[in-house]
Amino acid sequence: MNNPKIISVVGARPNFIKMKPIINSIKKNKINNILVHTGQHYDQNMSEIFFKELMLPKPDYFMGIGSGTHTYQTAEIMINFENICDNYSPDLVIVAGDVNSTLACALVSAKKNIPVAHIESGLRSFDRTMPEEINRIITDSISEILFVTEKSGVQNLIKEGIDRSKIHFVGNTMIDSLINYIDQAKKRKPWLNYGLTPKNYCLVTMHRPSNVDDEIKMISIIRLINQLSDKIKIIFPIHPRTAKLMKQCSECLSENVISTSPLSYLDFLGLMSSSRFVLTDSGGIQEESTYLEVQCVTLRENTERPITITEGTNHLAGTNTKNVLKIIDNILTGKNKKGSIPEKWDGKAGDRIVKIISEFL
Ligand code: UD1
């Protein structure tokens, strides 16, 4: 194909991190690419700061979709993205992860017969109550090139009937970014800003609808965090979804807990790398902590990233407070999981992806 054109789509916080290595490699290979930002995340500290720290180019299109129901977000993004595709006539659209922006743009492209490349294909929690699981299954089923981060993903896709020739096990672009930025992040010593010392604090994040959208669950998590703050210092950057729900909740965080607004990429990475352990319900943090060999306690019943359990430092704790505290007590008494770094998490996933895309085009 002569002078092929690509659109790369980002929308929410984890997309920025996953897409950066691909954008770098596309640039190195001098392929025409435009960056589309749906604006699903739009705050200074959920979006802008990531563009700045990752030195992402200014988006060629910014839709400014903002918050709303899943239907609103998906539908509005689809309408906007169709116009962009009509204006630019791309030969390929790249989407990443499992957020509503991913699904919406993949769907528009597939309907317009524009091939879709999906970064982070094949991950499955097998829990269809999670909005992300629906986004993953549908996006994978309509993608032409499926880039997988861990081998479980290959098996999942084959079981779903995806042609083997479309599936590429390439590694993890979120880990590419981590490798590129970790030295810079550690140099900042972000723990000093909060009076913390390395390996003497726990970093908490919480934003899954299943944990924070239900008041009873939210209360039990707040109590868990408060109990934990008697054992170890806690820093808790609070996601806007969680902050909103916490305001309406009858239980408050203890004064011992250091709560902040969402942190920048470098501050967060720096804090994670020097934490004693992380307590989270995020997907990406399970992977990042595995690479950093930091213990991760995952407050969920399932994970779509099983390699972080089988090879990494992740403990799938469920949401029962007693069980979670038992796992944490083990960690605090030195019974840590010794992990290893998963195959192909080597900082070269972005280059592998762009090589395969170039051949496809
Ligand atoms: C989304 C993704 C989730 C991902 C997470 C990372 C979906 C279905 N979910 O969840 O997979 O792990 O991003 O953060 O796409 N808000 C702000 N400012 C912002 C963005 C959001 O205040 O810049 C608030 C809004 O009140 C909004 C709420 O956060 O209602 C939730 O945002 P939303 O885009 O619906 O999804 P997330 O919960 O962030």
Three-state SS for 59-114 is CCEECCCCCCCHHHHHHHHHHHHHHHHHHHCCCEEEEECCCHHHHHHHHHHHHCCC
For atom 4 of ligand 1, the residue with the nearest CA is 99
Q: Which atom of ligand 1 is nearest to the CA of 282?
A: 12
Mean pLDDT over each residue of the chain, to the nearest integer = 97
Q: Which of 9, 125, 127, 241 to mutate to test the pocket of ligand 1 (most atoms within 8 A of CB)?
A: 241
104 residue type, one letter: A
Least confident range of 55-59, 116-120, 250-254, 271-275: 250-254
**Which pLDDT value is given to residue 1?**
80
Distance 238 CA to ligand 1 centre (A): 12
Q: Which atom of ligand 1 is nearest to the CA of 135?
A: 8
Least confident range of 17-26, 67-76, 206-215, 339-348: 206-215
Res 134 pLDDT > 90: yes
**Residue with the two structure tokens 């992806």:** 353
3-class DSSP assignment, residue 312: coil
The region that residue 243 occupies, defined by phi over 0 for left and psi between -120 and 50 for alpha, beta otherwise, is: alpha
Q: Which of 41, 207, 239, 315 is catalytic?
A: 207
Q: What percent of the chain has pLDDT over 90?
A: 97
**Which pLDDT value is given to residue 191?**
98
- Work out the average pLDDT over 169-195: 98
For atom 22 of ligand 1, the residue with the nearest CA is 240
Going from the C-alpha of 347 to that of each of 234, 304, 305, 344, 354, the distances in angstroms are: 30, 21, 18, 8, 13
- Which one, of 216, 217, 6, lies nearest residue 105 by Cα? 6
Q: Which atom of ligand 1 is nearest to the CA of 43?
A: 23
Distance 11 CA to ligand 1 centre (A): 10
In total, the chain counts a number of residues equal to 361
Cα 142 to chain centroid distance, Å, stands at 21
- Work out the average pLDDT over 333-357: 97
- On whether the CB atoms of residues 28 and 357 are closer than 8 A, the answer is no
Q: pTM of the predicted model, to two decimals?
A: 0.97
**Which pLDDT value is given to residue 2?**
81
State yes or no: is 118 an active-site residue.
Answer: no
Q: Which atom of ligand 1 is nearest to the CA of 40?
A: 34
Q: Which residues of 268-304 are buried (b: 16+ CB within 10 A; e: fewer)?
A: bbbbbbbbbbbbbbbbbbbbbbbbbebbbbbbbeebb
**Which pLDDT value is given to residue 253?**
95
Res 295 pLDDT > 90: yes
- Work out the average pLDDT over 166-189: 98
Going from the C-alpha of 313 to that of each of 38, 111, 267, 316, 340, the distances in angstroms are: 34, 41, 21, 10, 8
- Work out the average pLDDT over 211-230: 94
Ligand 1 environment, Cβ below 6 A: 12-14, 40-43, 46-47, 67, 98-100, 131-132, 207, 239-241, 244
Q: What is the CA radius of gyration of the chain?
A: 20
